[in-house]
Amino acid sequence: MLPVLLVAIVSILESCKTKELPLPIFGERKVVNGDTLFHRIAPFAFVDQDSAVVTNDTFRGKVYVADFFFTSCRTICPIMKTQMLRVYEATRDMPDVQIISHTIDPEYDTVALLRDFAKRLGVESGRWHFVTGVKDSIYKIAQTSYFATALEDKSEPDGFIHSGAFLLIDRQGRIRGKYDGTKEEEVNRLIVDIKKLRREGNP
Amino acid sequence: MLIIATAQVVYLQSCQTRDARFSQYYVQGQQLYVQYCSNCHQKDGTGLGLLYPPVSQSDFVDQRFNEVVCSMRNGLRGSIIVNGREYNQPMPGIPYLTDLEVAEISTYLYNTWGRKRGLVTVEEVQRVSAVCTP
């Protein structure tokens, strides 16, 4: 009796260990001819701190984390950057994990300013892109692709309203996680999820 | 007898007042620091890269009391050198901080991370603020 019970317990434990629940897929989905089509990040083209053009192709076959900020922001951005730096450092040895931080104040945050900002933050590798571009394109991709709020609002202390969200995007351009980038525990969860997503393998 | 008792009470009170005031300012100052300063300078005062300078181990904070007190309300612009490294991110001031709040933050800042300046009073903040360069 006892061995049977033990085997049962062990097998239950084993099944827990090996069966990892996949991360959810965010956004609308459509079924076309029996295939499920998921929400994907729309095509984009921005310029990063090294004057390189960053598009969806930059992240092809990679897992990446996206956020929205601006360098002169004094409210939540410094915390977001502190937390994103943790993500950057935790993924130091993962060339297939990248980060994109979009400025929502492209008029002020030029390529030169973003380069200085990245350098001062201690970001030297090409894994973390600080991008600028056409303002409307940045706002549109924030709202419609990443479901993150980014708007100009003169009544706000800094002139913008934006969410502190970090979005986790998989190799197929699908959103697989949304985290509050101002909270350490949420960012811990993101770091765990990045590793989980890497284990999913290439499609 | 009554006189001695009264004197004792007065003596105790004045002592306690200073100590109690220090603790009050310190605790309040810590909360204000977390609310207004730690976003950039971090809760542990270590700053962030070369963007936001440290306030914990910082020769600037150690040596430039007046400028630090002034910066809380007036902000800071332009390049500064902290521990031999150059920082150049504008610091926005918080103009609506009261003299008391500045005294509380200063009491916290100057009695933490190895500093033992003692209570920073409202009068001291007023004296310094009168000669801030805008």
pLDDT digits (tens, 9 = 90+) for B23-72: 999 999 999 999 999 989 999 999 999 999 999 999 999 999 999 999 99
Mutate to test the interface with B, among A49, A70, A74, A88 (most CBs of B within 10 A): A74
Residue B119 confidence (pLDDT): 97
The residue type of A106 is: P
Tokens of A122: 């201690």
What sign results for the dihedral spanned by CA atoms A114, A115, A120, A123?
positive
Contact criterion met (CB < 8 Å) for A76 and B52: no
**B78-108 core/surface letters (b: 16 or more CB in 10 A; e: else):** eebebeeeebebebbbbeebeeebbbbbbbb
User: What pLDDT does residue B100 have?
Assistant: 98
Which pLDDT tens digit goes with each residue over B73-115? 999 999 999 999 999 999 989 999 999 999 999 999 999 999 9
Nearest CA-CA partner of A166 in A79, A95, A74: A79
Residue B3 has pLDDT above 80, yes or no: no
pLDDT of B8 > 70? The answer is no
> Which of A78, A81, A120 is nearest residue B50 as measured by Cβ atoms?
A120
| Interface test mutation site (partner A, options B34, B48, B79, max chain A beta carbons within 10 A) | B48
- Sites in chain A below the pLDDT cut of 70: 1-19, 157, 201-203
Residue A26 Cα, gap to closest chain B Cα (Å): 30
Residue of A nearest to B87 (CA): A120
Scanning the structure block, which residue is given the tokens 């921005």?
A46
Closest-CA residue to A126 (of A160, A100, A154, A106): A100
Tokens of B66: 């007046």
Residues in chain A: 203
Dihedrals φ, ψ of A60, to 5°?
Answer: -60, 130
Q: How far apart are CA B105 and CA B119, in angstroms?
A: 11
Q: Per the CB < 8 Å rule, is A85 touching B39? A: no
Cα–Cα dist B43/B41, whole Å: 7
What does pTM read for this prediction?
0.81
Q: d(Cα B39, Cα B54) in Å, to the nearest integer? A: 12
d(CA B12, CA B104): 23
Give the closest-approach CA distance of B39 to chain A in angstroms: 6
pLDDT in the model for residue A202: 55
The single-letter DSSP state of residue A176 is: E
List CB contacts of A69: < 8 A, sequence separation 6 or more. Answer: A77, A80, A81, A101, A102, A103, A104, A162
Residues 102-131 of B with CB under 8 A from A: none
